[in-house]
Structure 1
Amino acid sequence: MKYQIFFLLLSLVVVSACAAPEQREITFPRATIQIGDIKREVQLADTPQLRERGLMFQQTADAGMLLLYPQPQLISLWMRNTDLALDVAFIDPLWRVIAIKPLHPLDETPVSVPTEALAALEMPRGWFQKHNIEVGEKLTLLP
């Protein structure tokens, strides 16, 4: 009887481990940006591992996140494991906003622009509109 209970508990642990997505806590470095008249600190995802994780599993997007790439490239984003309503501004190699698009919670449909970008700035839904940030606005990464 003890062995049956042990194997049952062991099976439950194995099944739980397989079913739970990777949610370990990751600490993102911070960067200060200026866009329009707004200066603020955001989370910085500047490595492949940090960009892959993005805002997954976070409870809020209030801090925002700058996904920064080493060189301009076609960027495609999705919302796997991200239960937040976001807007994303794609940033070109001259640090100008080239597009602002909505990202829907848990939607795995890729969102991209047809030209190369150097970065993507993810903010809570409506943030760009609230601050009158539009296509053509310049983003500056401050020291």
Structure 2
Amino acid sequence: MFQAASKPGNNEGGNMEHKITPLRKIIRYAAVGIGFGSFFLMLLTAIAPGWIPLNRLSILTMFVMSALIGELTFLLDDGYPWSYLAHFALTFALTIAWVLANGWTFRQIPGGLGSIAATFVGIYVAIWLVVITDMKIDVGRMNRKLRESR
């Protein structure tokens, strides 16, 4: 007859509060980063074969770099304007570290540092467009569910 009061972890009544633990958040951010990194590595390889030399080291370091870039998303959790600039700068620094960790010189890469920077900005903007589009879709879905529940 009476439903239990909704408490974290209590699913009686269908109102379970979803709590994301810090470890789960770390894993999620790293996995999303690796997903984006893998996608764009494959895309660049398909568009410009040979531009990025693919070998075991370049792939493994790309996974590490992408996971770390995913972790940089923590900077955006506070919502301060400076955090976006810090995220951009640190993400670019990790990209340059990836290039250097693979022993590549800027002269080996067609277009050099300018080409790396332009490609980085293009990918960074594309990722933000995907993230913003996904958020808009989620908000639309939530608004639709709210309208239907009234």
TM-score normalised by the chain length of structure 1: 0.28
Higher relative contact order (CA 8 A, sep 6+): 1
TM-score normalised by the chain length of structure 2: 0.27
Larger of the two Rg values belongs to structure: 2
> As a proportion of its length, which structure holds more helix?
2
